[in-house]
Structure 1
């Protein structure tokens, strides 16, 4: 038997290894993109019911109904963007000085301070927001933009402070010292040297806070509803009422900025910043 004859079964065995790999990749693609495809179909489905696999009629009449003056989508979208932007401003206003102090100063309880910002993520949201709503109702913040922003900022600080601390830690302290040695004051050295170098990490922090606020449901429901309409609240009410077209359109409005901003975060958060998280 020739050497070429023996090599044929071996090549066939190597080629057959691609079959289970292709099946696994196909299954993963179906798990990831199947729900997204179903979401997109519901956004243009006029009539779709069991046992039909695909919609019977396609159109955009639901879109016009959602964005009509009588619909709540535009009002919810404006409130969601306004709350998310204000949450970013409040979170970064607190996170930038806190992150700089945690990165530069030798604080005795530094790890404990960083851990404190994770406490809101450690407890179930439902009982916390029920008590927050009761407190806000007593002081007149329930059902207001200010109350919703404060609740979102508490969650956003976990991302803002941790990423800001990592961003400032990634900036070489000798660059700041060099600026100080040629006559720059502490504030100017921070403004002209440290802050620009840490800006990519701070931008990523702002995006994380924005997306967290945009998708936040529990705090928006207990503190803002029914006076402050938000996209997650519209999504919940539409889905609970069986209005899957409206729910899918609302979910798409939440999904598009999330995908776009995450691509930007991937560009901003470099390995040198990520390596400083928690240090």
Structure 2
């Protein structure tokens, strides 16, 4: 056996460790989701079944209501974030705005600081306006994070649109609004769709902001996951985590398809 024949060993070890780091926790999650009894020192569950699935999604369970609430909040967050991001992204991409780079950096401020002190202060302010414990308050908190993805990706999507196409439409008599609706917006649509998915997933998985602003009146799946996990209900926590994981994986494939390399190259420009 030559030295070249042994080169695959460190590669195999690295790939094996990477696969274990990724799929090990997922395997454990799936096992807990179908476990009836499992305790130390047994390496595998003693009984398998779907009793806890029935409990989670029973009329007395809170998962269905929490799921619908999470989806509703995520959809509202997408509408508000993308509604603000389209004009903002177009202006940042097409207009010669002063301090354009500073504006884009300012949008990163919510991500630049630890979430805990930010949300504690937001909760205190919202309490004065009666927004604590309301869907509107939770949506506004989610929008502060969603705008980062929405505006940056929208700016990149509009920057990737060939300006000559807009000039051609204007030269044959189309108004600025007609050019935007018929030419610019359809071409930028894949990037805007990708930004919408990012915002949706960010909102769907958001816990800290929802906890400080919405709990206990607004119940979402991440809050249900936290409650179940902290209470030692690992089966319920695992089932809830799997429900949250499915749309994330599905939408990632959609993002990979629609968010093209030429759009990504414009991010931050």
- The interval holding the TM-score normalised by the smaller chain is over 0.9
User: Which structure has the larger Rg?
Assistant: 1
CA distance in 2, matches of 1:179, 1:93: 24
CA distance in 2, matches of 1:266, 1:187: 30
Shift of 1:13: 2.6
TM-score scaled to structure 2, two decimals? 0.99
| Residue of structure 2 in register with 1:252 after alignment | 242
Q: Does 2:135 correspond to 1:162? A: no
Shift of 1:19: 2.0
Deviates more, 1:210-219 or 1:125-134: 125-134
| Residue of structure 1 in register with 2:119 after alignment | 129
Q: Secondary structure at the match of 2:161?
A: coil
CA distance in 2, matches of 1:137, 1:70: 30
Q: Does 2:180 correspond to 1:200? A: no
Shift of 1:257: 0.5
Q: Which of 26, 34, 41 lines up with 1:51 in the alignment? A: 41
TM-score scaled to structure 1, two decimals? 0.95
Q: Which of 184, 192, 199 lines up with 1:209 in the alignment? A: 199
Shift of 1:16: 1.8
| Residue of structure 2 in register with 1:5 after alignment | none
| Residue of structure 1 in register with 2:221 after alignment | 231
Shift of 1:263: 1.0
| Over 3 Å off, 4+ runs | none
CA distance in 2, matches of 1:23, 1:130: 44
Q: Does 2:17 correspond to 1:13? A: no
Q: For 1:139-184, what per-residue CA distance to the aligned partner results, in whole angstroms no more than 9, with x for missing partners?
A: 1111011110000001100000000000000001110110000011
| Residue of structure 2 in register with 1:35 after alignment | 25
Q: Secondary structure at the match of 2:3?
A: helix
| Residue of structure 2 in register with 1:65 after alignment | 55
Q: For 1:38-72, what per-residue CA distance to the aligned partner results, in whole angstroms no more than 9, with x for missing partners?
A: 00000000000111000000000000000011111
Structure 2: runs of 5 or more not aligned: none
Q: Secondary structure at the match of 1:85?
A: helix
Within 5 Å, give how 1:165-180 maps onto structure 2.
165-180=155-170
Q: Does 2:256 correspond to 1:261? A: no
Q: For 1:120-140, what per-residue CA distance to the aligned partner results, in whole angstroms no more than 9, with x for missing partners?
A: 111111111111111111211
CA distance in 2, matches of 1:194, 1:127: 40
| Residue of structure 2 in register with 1:3 after alignment | none
| Residue of structure 2 in register with 1:181 after alignment | 171
